[in-house]
Amino acid sequence: MNRKSPFSYVCNACGRCCHDKVITLSPYDVLRLARAAGITTREAIARYTIRRGSILKFTGDGACAALKGARCGVHRGRPLACRLYPLGIEHAEDQERFVTLESAAGSLGVYGDDGAVNDFLDAQGVAKYLEANAGYASLMAVFRERIAATADFDRVEPREFWRRTVREALAESGYDANPLIDAMFDAGGTGCGGGGDAETIAAHLERLAEMIRGESNAELLAAAAVMLAVSIGYSPGEATGYQ
């Protein structure tokens, strides 16, 4: 599906889709969660996320950590994946494609026959999320340049290098400390959270680029690059050049 494809859906706030999911978060998602909850990004990471800020947390009974009854407690700052539901978005070679996801069992949401994908995106306030993600995607070129300058592929087999770093980036436990990943999801913690969204993102991107260019550990850089790629909807291979 593309933006002109027929699509209509009305959420009836039953909360069924807010259970037993794996929802990947971008740095902007974490910023919006924090602002909706009135807390810092560091506090939002601890309260609402797992895997270093990159996945939304669900409780032992399968409910989203932000759910209050059947309602989202941070609805105005809900993540992109929640805004898109029941659509998913895929990126490949700078092209976007939308897919219809399977509805949650017992969902009270209603599909219609009036409207297009773009109408739904506008109603859900998706544009600012995609714009923010595009800004973070620009860091991939900075990562690639720095990894090329620091990785010794004459001594380290490239496929093994990337295999290790992908595994490290996506591990939910037992991972090594990585200040780049920590800074990636904690905009406020990097001293960039004082302005509006646009100002915060611009300052955050500048700070992250500075950190990337100053890092000399290739594996640390590569793990952070993979994490960033996945968090904004790209595969590791598409965003880092790993095939």
Phi and psi angles of residue 199, each rounded to the nearest 5 degrees, phi first: -65, -40
The domain boundary, picked from 94, 129, 164, lies at 129
Q: What is the pLDDT of residue 124?
A: 93
Q: What is the pLDDT of residue 16?
A: 87
135 CB-near residues (< 8 Å, 6+ apart) = 201, 202, 205
Residue 92 domain-assigned (yes or no): yes
Which residues share a beta bridge with 95?
Answer: 92
Tokens of 170: 């996506």
| Count of domains observed in the chain | 2
Q: What is the pLDDT of residue 93?
A: 65
176 and 108 both lie in a single domain: no
121 and 141 both lie in a single domain: no
213 and 236 both lie in a single domain: yes
Phi and psi angles of residue 67, each rounded to the nearest 5 degrees, phi first: -80, 135
140 and 230 both lie in a single domain: yes
118 and 183 both lie in a single domain: no
The domain boundary, picked from 129, 149, 173, lies at 129
28 and 116 both lie in a single domain: yes
Residue 2 domain-assigned (yes or no): no
What is the mean pLDDT for each group of 10 consecutive residues in the chain (243 residues)? 91 87 95 94 94 92 89 93 92 81 84 89 94 95 94 89 91 91 91 85 96 96 95 78 56
How much of the chain is in helix, strand and coil states, percent to nearest 5? 50, 15, 35
Q: What is the pLDDT of residue 13?
A: 84
HSE-CB at 140 with a 13 A cutoff on CA atoms is 23
18 and 34 both lie in a single domain: yes
Dist CA 125 CA 209 (whole Å): 28
Residue 219 domain-assigned (yes or no): yes
Residue 4 domain-assigned (yes or no): no
For 68, the domain range is: 9-129
161 and 97 both lie in a single domain: no
The domain boundary, picked from 111, 129, 147, lies at 129
Give the mean pLDDT of the chain: 90
Residue 34 domain-assigned (yes or no): yes
84 and 30 both lie in a single domain: yes
